[in-house]
Amino acid sequence: MNRLLLNKIVITLSTLAALMGISFLLWILVTLSIRGYHSIDWHIFTTDLVNNGLRNVIIGQFILAGIATVIGVPVGMMAGIYLREYGINSKFAMIVRNLSDVMMSAPSIVIGIFVYGIFVVPFGGFNGWAGVIALAILMIPIVVSTTDSMLSLVPQELREAGIALGASKAQVIYKIVLSAAKIGLITGVLLAFARVIGETAPLLFTSANNNFFSFGLSNQYPSLTVSIYHLALFPSQTSQNLAWAGSAILTLLVLFINLITRFIFKPRKQK
């Protein structure tokens, strides 16, 4: 075949593929906007699921993901610090690094039923804490990996300079290394939060769902994503509209966080 023709064909096909990818994104976003526009009103934000509102489940989702972040980030960050600052290339550090990497891609439903096994069965029923733990477990490997790679970008001279001034290793890490890597770490935490706040599968059998407003994490706990799942499959127009409203809110939130991190991180990159 003619070389130039083949070249043109491949270029055209690749461009079409890119167009196709973008049109899927647009298609989903447009669908969400239209359906969301028609189903979101103030009523949704002021009433709970039991009255066809989403107030309790949105707040519930934030609380679940928020507490998961409060647990997952320190653990993940400290583990990441160990890998980069103490263990570095020791066998133990390499094993943890690799296995954490693998855990990052583990199916989230498996994490969900693992937590069911240790936090639901022994305590006799679905509870908010189990949901929190499941999300935290999902989050830890993500935070480990970003911490590890962000700290690796901090120049070694900075650490040496700190040690040379007589700071202890912990002080060097705490005061110098972490603040040098601050922006990257914040970005990582935000992205990890965005990832877990959109999770459904790990919550299905841990915190499950609740129609009412609740701060009691020892009972079934309201969740936006689990609500969307149940509402969407329920054969009633009201439920499905509510599911679309929830989907639009969730997507807006997740994309918003993603775009924010892009702007936080950008000036740093240009330097």
Closest separation between CB of residue 91 and other proteins, Å?
12
Rg for the chain, CA atoms, rounded: 23
Closer residue to other proteins (CB): 48 or 193:
193
Closest separation between CB of residue 50 and other proteins, Å?
20
Q: Which of 44, 83, 130, 192 binds other proteins (CB under 8 A)?
A: 83
Residue 158 near other proteins by CB under 8 A: no
Closer residue to other proteins (CB): 46 or 158:
158
Closest separation between CB of residue 137 and other proteins, Å?
6
Closest separation between CB of residue 109 and other proteins, Å?
4
Residue 15 near other proteins by CB under 8 A: yes
Closest separation between CB of residue 147 and other proteins, Å?
10
Nearest to 169 by CA among 84, 92, 85: 85
Closest separation between CB of residue 130 and other proteins, Å?
13
Using alpha carbons only, give the angle 241, 191, 33 rounded to the nearest 5 degrees: 25
Q: Which parts of 234-263 interact with other proteins (CB under 8 A)?
A: 240, 243-244, 247, 250-251, 254-255, 258-259, 262
d(CA 209, CA 237): 21
Residue 37 near other proteins by CB under 8 A: no
Amino acid identity for residue 161 in this structure: A
Closer residue to other proteins (CB): 58 or 228:
228
d(CA 33, CA 36): 5
Q: Are 185 and 264 a contacting pair, CB within 8 Å?
A: no
Region binding other proteins by CB under 8 A among candidate stretches 25-33, 158-166, 182-190, 214-222: 25-33
Q: Which parts of 159-188 interact with other proteins (CB under 8 A)?
A: 168-171, 173-174
Closer residue to other proteins (CB): 17 or 161:
17
Residue 88 near other proteins by CB under 8 A: no
Number of chain residues interacting with other proteins (CB under 8 A): 89
Q: Which of 50, 70, 88, 110 binds other proteins (CB under 8 A)?
A: 110
Residue 199 near other proteins by CB under 8 A: yes
Closer residue to other proteins (CB): 11 or 164:
11
